[in-house]
Amino acid sequence: MAQAGLKKAVVLCAGEGTRLRPLTFSRPKHLLPVAGRPLLGWALDALAEAGVEQVALVVGHRPEAIQRYVGDGSAWGLRACYVTQEKPLGLAHAVACARHFVGEDEFLVYLGDNLLEFGVRALVEAYLAQRPVAALFVKEVEDPRAYGVVVTEGDRVVSVVEKPADPPSNLAIVGAYAFSPAIMQAIRETPPSPRGEYEITDAIQRLVAGPGEVIAVPVQGFWEDAGRPAELLLANRLYLDRMEPKLLGHVNARSRVEGPVQVGRGTRVTNCTLFGPCLVGENCVLSDSVIGPYVSIDAGTYVSDSRVENCIVQQDCKIRHLQGGLRDSVLGTQVEVLGREGGSQNPLSLLLGDMSSIRLF
């Protein structure tokens, strides 16, 4: 028997994250950290908070890492299961991979690299109030050519098109959808697009052309599709802006802390200036450095004699003698960037995969 309400969600996290290479060679993009926590962790929070009880994670690239992180879902109060998408054949294909999980129920689809300030509650409420065949979260953007684009009359969608060269409106489709089971039939009837993928947008267009209503629900607050390094850094900034200050580590008297700063347990900060928003994980050692604003540093990292601004630094990195500053950078785990004392005053902007090593001697 079909269950009432939107208790199920299909979370798409099979993508290879090619636009985030080299970071994604060793890890799915959904596990890259934003404000010290994997992207997917924030996404699952949003689903649990909107009343979802069961999630199917569609995995493909490095599935074991995602399974290790999410497990049975109980950390979020969810029941999680996994479905494999063998080949990257598009979002509609990924949703179809979860057809046994969905059965005859209404469900949400959430793109695991999307971050929404206020989660998906508004989408769920609009869907349950109107019971359309589909509800799409949408947001006005300046240049919608990289997105699915909708044309609406009131809140009714009259057409959708994927990544149009000449967009018919500025309303982009955000990576969260509420569907009736009718979408599964629409997906079965959808041919591949010119780029060889089964597009969810094309399947939605079939619903739009059918008898039922598809509605658009505007997103309030920020929406970030963290598919590229600049967007990952922007998402990091948005989440850091919401962070509460908390100093659990040791900050010596000659250090200065300004604005919202978190310092994790076991971390030692000596003769540094920390400009918030800034988050430093556990067991880090920071000395003679200026860190922030908009920096998140994961556990076990060592920074000395450097400036770091607007960066994501993952676990166990070493940054030394970068007086010119490391800016707008994303470092994987166990990365070393070592300058020399009195070295270059030029700032660096780096995108480095796990275990990279740079010596500026």
Rounded CA-CA distance 85/215 in Å is: 28
Rounded CA-CA distance 80/41 in Å is: 13
Rounded CA-CA distance 351/118 in Å is: 29
Rounded CA-CA distance 328/253 in Å is: 29
Q: Which of 10, 66, 111, 261 binds ligand G1P (CB under 6 A)?
A: 111
173 is an interface residue for ligand G1P by CB under 6 A? yes
Residue 223 CB, nearest approach to ligand G1P (Å)? 8
Q: Which of 24, 54, 85, 114 binds ligand G1P (CB under 6 A)?
A: 114
Q: Which of 11, 14, 91, 279 binds ligand G1P (CB under 6 A)?
A: 91
Candidates 47-55, 65-73, 173-181, 254-262; binding stretch for ligand G1P (CB under 6 A): 173-181
Q: Hey, what are 199's tokens?
A: 């597009």
The DSSP code sequence of 290-339 is EE-SSEEE-TT-EEES-EEEEEEE-TT-EEE--TT-EEEEEE-TT-EEE-
Tokens 């089964």, residue located: 198
Rounded CA-CA distance 132/110 in Å is: 18
The DSSP code sequence of 214-273 is EEEEEPPS-EEE--SHHHHHHHHHHHHTTPPPEE-SEE-TT-EEESSEEE-TT-EEES-E
Residue 201 CB, nearest approach to ligand G1P (Å)? 5
How far, in Å, are 30, 110, 172 from residue 91 at the CA level?
A: 15, 10, 16
Candidates 81-89, 172-180, 240-248, 293-301; binding stretch for ligand G1P (CB under 6 A): 172-180
Q: Which of 110, 137, 147, 179 binds ligand G1P (CB under 6 A)?
A: 147
Candidates 81-89, 169-177, 231-239, 310-318; binding stretch for ligand G1P (CB under 6 A): 169-177
Q: Which of 28, 33, 63, 175 binds ligand G1P (CB under 6 A)?
A: 175
Nearer to ligand G1P, 162 or 354 (CB): 162
Q: Which of 13, 39, 172, 216 binds ligand G1P (CB under 6 A)?
A: 172
Tokens 């860190």, residue located: 291
**96 and 188 Cβ atoms separated by less than 8 Å:** yes
Residue 242 CB, nearest approach to ligand G1P (Å)? 21
Q: Hey, what are 125's tokens?
A: 């409420």
Residue 116 CB, nearest approach to ligand G1P (Å)? 11
Nearer to ligand G1P, 113 or 298 (CB): 113
Q: Which of 36, 112, 148, 281 binds ligand G1P (CB under 6 A)?
A: 148
Q: Which of 105, 162, 202, 298 binds ligand G1P (CB under 6 A)?
A: 162
**278 and 296 Cβ atoms separated by less than 8 Å:** yes
Supply the DSSP symbol for 282: T
116 is an interface residue for ligand G1P by CB under 6 A? no
Residue 225 CB, nearest approach to ligand G1P (Å)? 4
Q: Hey, what are 152's tokens?
A: 């609406």
**147 and 259 Cβ atoms separated by less than 8 Å:** no
Q: Total number of residues binding ligand G1P (CB under 6 A)?
A: 13
Q: Hey, what are 212's tokens?
A: 């039922």
Candidates 69-77, 166-174, 252-260, 320-328; binding stretch for ligand G1P (CB under 6 A): 166-174
CA nearest neighbour of 322 among 335, 314, 333: 335
Nearer to ligand G1P, 173 or 319 (CB): 173
Binding mask 184-223 for ligand G1P (x = CB under 6 A): -----------------x----------------------
Where does this chain bind ligand G1P (CB under 6 A)?
91, 111, 114, 147-148, 162, 172-175, 201, 225, 227
